[in-house]
Amino acid sequence: MYLNYQNNILITSRARPFKSADGHYTCIFIGVLTNELKLIKKLEKAGIYLRENKTEELIIELFKYCTESFLQTLVGSFMVILVDNEKKEILVARDQFGIESLYYQVEQNGITFSSDIRSLTQNNDSKSRELNFEKIAHYFTYGYILEATTPICNVYHVPAGCVLHYHENEISIKPYTQMLVIEGSLQPVVSEALLKEAIQKSVSAYVSYGDEIGLIYEGEKATKIYASIAESIGAQVKVFMPIYTSKKNKNTKKNVVNRIITSNDYWEAAQKLAKVTDSPLANPEYPVHYLLAEIMHKFTDKYLTTEGMNYLFGSEKKSTNKNIFKEKELSKILKNKAVKQIEVIEEYLLATSDLRKKDQIDTVKINTELKGMILLKNRKMMNSFENHAIYPHLDTSVHQLATFLTREEKNDMSLLSKIFANEISSYKLPPSRFSGAHVPLKKWISGDLFERIWELFSSNVAAKYFNVDELFALLSKHKLGFSDKSREIWAVVMFIFWAN
């Protein structure tokens, strides 16, 4: 989607704007509302009936009926742009998780919105491609760039759960929903039956009888839960599983598609992934997800994902402060000496200081890592294959219940394992030992990928941004076995692929 608003003229490309009957409003909507029928009935009770039964028409009528507060009634994954053609005002909003991406760039005589950052950097102005090294420092610290920011200097992300107003070259942004907070009750307060019903309803809102559904293997329990619910609805489910060995897997099931992944496959997938994502991503698992999404596209156009589910239903034991590079190390490898790591995560920790430590960590991860890395990767990767990614656990009715689970209920998804015990036990998947639980990146960097990475570090792009002698020293230490530097090396590799 690309929208340019200059001199009070609306220009759109690859979008389907809907104009109200009186011409007062123009609306662009991308996404899915799981409570659309409920909202239509709400309007009908007030004597308001839709003429064309389009989501865009619904948005316009909701805005006319209850102004900006209508955003709080929307449930699902969405991005909405509403233009008041008479007042020359624009209202823009995204769902509270930011599943649908939307960027903007302010110009002298207007503003441009796009769901793809590259369309905002394709003009001849070199400033439109100038990197923001403060945000690049975030990438080399956390492995991703925070969701509300971008690595390009004059390009911005409309924050998730926020509404942007634009009028006469003035912009204001404010949240329309509260920050997602994990409460972590001390005593069980969530009904098991209620939680199970909410998850089943959420899956059924996206999945219909006869649908062909794909699932990437992202953990045995979560995969089995979603697969079994989808099959109970009557969908045809296939689970896509990575294999890092050439040995034949004798435990293949009919509902499982194996993808043997070599170091060469992995290298090529990493380059392709870097081309479709709006910012670099350092997670070594993501090129594997790209390969699985690529083969999934041949079987289905719907992707039921469990990613991020562990933040809501599983106890997070990892510290949020495990950075890829420390500030001293980063100042050595980057040529830009102005770079300073800003501990943005510390701001979230401060805002949730009244919570218990583990609840703080879960809250921080949902508001930073989930939005800035997992969802960004999924939506861009799936869009490149025209697959629709579905996140049932992010529906309002589900995640609100999840925030009140006790630590014991969340431990290793124990509550979900309990209430879906029958589904987990009856759904058959190969034992986890036959799947690739972790990418053998340490081994590949020392072996098959060593020469390729050395050559990449010798490139002009590497020389533009890095002190290459420090990169070679990093690679040599890993090769000689002095220390495992695979995480740091791969972060640099993915940045070069992306910057290139």
Tokens of 54: 């389009």
Please check whether residue 184 lies inside any domain of the structure.
no
Contact between 388 and 301 under an 8 Å Cβ cutoff? The reply is yes
- pLDDT classification of 498: cutoffs 50, 70, 90: very high
Tokens of 244: 């890092």
Contact between 131 and 500 under an 8 Å Cβ cutoff? The reply is no
Please check whether residue 183 lies inside any domain of the structure.
no
| 72-104 per-position pLDDT tens digit | 999 888 899 999 999 989 999 998 888 888 899
Please check whether residue 289 lies inside any domain of the structure.
yes
Number of domains in the chain: 3
| 457 and 407 in a common domain | no
Question: Which of residues 113, 141, 175 is at a domain's end?
Answer: 175
| 406 and 454 in a common domain | no
| 109 and 239 in a common domain | no
| 43 and 18 in a common domain | yes
* Domain range for 405: 192-438
Mean pLDDT confidence for 6-28: 76
Using alpha carbons, list the distances in angstroms from residue 79 to 1, 96, 107, 206.
Answer: 10, 10, 22, 17
| 459 and 426 in a common domain | no
Which residue's entry shows tokens 């209620």? 194
Please check whether residue 485 lies inside any domain of the structure.
yes
| 155 and 17 in a common domain | yes
Please check whether residue 187 lies inside any domain of the structure.
no
pTM, to two decimals: 0.87
| 217 and 144 in a common domain | no
| 407-431 per-position pLDDT tens digit | 788 887 888 989 999 988 888 887 6
pLDDT of res. 3: 66
Instruction: Give the CB-side neighbour count of residue 99, counting CA atoms within 13 A.
Output: 22
Question: Which of residues 127, 149, 175 is at a domain's end?
Answer: 175
With b for 16 or more beta-carbon neighbours within 10 A and e for fewer, the 236-270 pattern comes to ebbbbbbbbeeeebeeeeeebbbbebebebbbebb
| 125 and 104 in a common domain | yes
- What percent of the chain is modeled with pLDDT above 70? 89
| 106 and 21 in a common domain | yes
| 379 and 294 in a common domain | yes
Please check whether residue 186 lies inside any domain of the structure.
no
| 170 and 127 in a common domain | yes
CATH of the domain at 56: 3.60.20.10
Mean pLDDT confidence for 134-158: 85
| 497 and 403 in a common domain | no
